[in-house]
Structure 1
């Protein structure tokens, strides 16, 4: 296995390498880079006191530390700078370092450059985690050794020495990772592209262009799987370099995966339509998850037998924080949909239930419009508990939506998650459904949507 480490070692040996931040993946890589002969500097906006024992541990390994307010001064004189996805690529100091000769890269970019096996990658505004997880599950069901990483799973570059050419890597890629990538996977999936992360990208076009990088650097033979029902992902057909297939649940296609009128999930290829499994046998809740299953099917077609695809469709129970059942208490069902950090995700979640529900919404403001969410709330929600920065914005959009006055929608506000859960419990009667479906990011109160979702579950389970 050690032979697969050597290409990485030869890339960093004797070079001056700066890491931006000491997150989990970088922490592991920093030690490896030191062992491979790199001169490593950690650039972190935290002070040594804030880092605690880690600062001393890194210094003991010979890592130079550039910490605190002026941490970006550590970019000077570097041969390579390892960017974390959370650090914006177009930050002036980073761009200046690149112009001065530093190679600006990342854990995922180096992995794409050096990985000895084929890579399947998924991006999109919605559905990418479930689609990525389904692809990995299908390949494992077929007996493949799968390495799951990127935006989910674990960092893959630190384990590249244990990956063989016969394996397959399945990765989820965010726009923050893709924005600077100049390599694309053998199989690329774009689920959809809707307004998101506009607090970080300068405009919608920059966000779209970042997503396009998953396709732009493909070389045949390759495959691109695109969501047909989203205008932006459909338009990316023009970027495809090899085989291109669709997925859609709203119409039949002669080139890709689709939901037939009779409720059968099918795959069409070269004039042949292959039935896979009936919609009612799919374990995942919601029509948006039918789309995710179709996207995954189109991605693995030819690599995974139909029987294995169908088995995963019947057995896959979902991913944490995605319409995740939490508990039933006093006849009320509670669900955790903390992943719903944008209006489109919340809309998909609302449409997954066949009755009006109670939702907890609101959070950090990503500068996304809430007007498209308002009619869906009126159609699918009986009571709305709002919190966070976007609570007033969501309420304004709902109150100004035609039909609000006669909708009977109840709106309440809470100062935090504990207050929101308590308010939802008071509003709920036996037979009701309560879902955390924020339509907003978590960063006003939580470091990420996972922490938000777990706190919600703790509160609900303590009721």
Structure 2
């Protein structure tokens, strides 16, 4: 493609790829066959970026949450900054972004690089960065019921994506987690959940994996005793349990960490069913 974006590479889809190296190689194909007139937008904070940059003949733009970039976009204090054509411009203040989560700040930085490479004006980029409120199944606010906010993040089909969702909230959380595992580690997920989530409602095929991850990390850390765990068979039962245990001011967050294929055609079908169940409360 003329403009290719790789937002991040972390362990994922290892139920389909024989190894992490094979997964990285598959991801790199999007930039490997570009021309010198094309653009590759890469995450400077990701460990695989030097390898990707070396594989592409395209011009490279970097984005970063952690450090200034020579050419691209980065977060500096409370501002999103573009450094392009030997000039710096402020895209927008951090406070202007409507999307939750630091991962979405990174997404905006990446999108700004891609937009610039495609000839979009700074004014248009600023307008979108400060007004875009998200799309379905990605931290989608479904309903506020009895003072409880229900959020659909069915797109989170890996533990890492679920971690990003959990970290996006300061409110106490009732987390709906489960689905089908993709042969990924749940250790870091368990660490984050035990420190930030009040209640976990686990459902689907991944229940034993989630139970084990929470039990083992709790034993190793000696903490997280206040995080409650309920296990159920289905999403329907999970929503019912969440409605029962959630308190006013809390967030019920569907961010499963597993795929939907144990019960649904895809993550969109799972998210749509979640909406239906919440609407029926």
Please give the range of the TM-score, normalised by the shorter of the 2 chains: over 0.9
Deviation for aligned residue 1:419? 0.6
Give the alignment partner of residue 281 of structure 1, picking from 77, 87, 96. 96
Alignment of 1:14-25 (within 5 A): none
What residue number does 1:323 align with?
A: 139
Deviation for aligned residue 1:372? 1.7
Contact 1:227-1:234 within 8 A present in 2 as well: no
Q: Deviations for 1:48-88, whole angstroms, at most 9, x for unmatched residues? A: xxxxxxxxxxxxxxxxxxxxxxxxxxxxxxxxxxxxxxxxx
For residues 241 and 26 of structure 2, the distance between their equivalents in structure 1, rounded to whole angstroms, comes to 40
Could you say which structure has the greater relative contact order, defined with CA pairs below 8 angstroms and 6 or more residues apart?
A: 2
Q: Deviations for 1:344-379, whole angstroms, at most 9, x for unmatched residues? A: 100110111113311100111211111121111112
Give the alignment partner of residue 251 of structure 2, picking from 403, 426, 433. 433
Alignment of 1:141-290 (within 5 A): 185-261=1-77, 263-290=78-105
Deviation for aligned residue 1:215? 0.8
The structure whose Rg is larger is 1
What residue number does 2:237 align with?
A: 419
What residue number does 1:166 align with?
A: none
Q: Deviations for 1:270-319, whole angstroms, at most 9, x for unmatched residues? A: 43211111111112111111111000001111511111001011221111
Moved over 6 A (4+): none
* RMSD of aligned residue pairs (Cα, Å): 1.3
What residue number does 1:339 align with?
A: 155
What residue number does 1:458 align with?
A: 276
**Any gaps of 5 or more consecutive residues in structure 1?**
1-184
What residue number does 2:261 align with?
A: 443
Alignment of 1:344-355 (within 5 A): 344-355=160-171
For residues 250 and 172 of structure 2, the distance between their equivalents in structure 1, rounded to whole angstroms, comes to 8
Q: Deviations for 1:213-262, whole angstroms, at most 9, x for unmatched residues? A: 1011111211111011111234311112131111111222222100111x
What residue number does 1:358 align with?
A: 174
- Normalized against structure 1, the TM-score is what? 0.59
For residues 234 and 321 of structure 1, the distance between their equivalents in structure 2, rounded to whole angstroms, comes to 32
- Normalized against structure 2, the TM-score is what? 0.95
Paired residue total: 278
For residues 190 and 317 of structure 1, the distance between their equivalents in structure 2, rounded to whole angstroms, comes to 22
Q: Deviations for 1:15-64, whole angstroms, at most 9, x for unmatched residues? A: xxxxxxxxxxxxxxxxxxxxxxxxxxxxxxxxxxxxxxxxxxxxxxxxxx
Contact 1:357-1:382 within 8 A present in 2 as well: yes
What residue number does 1:310 align with?
A: 126
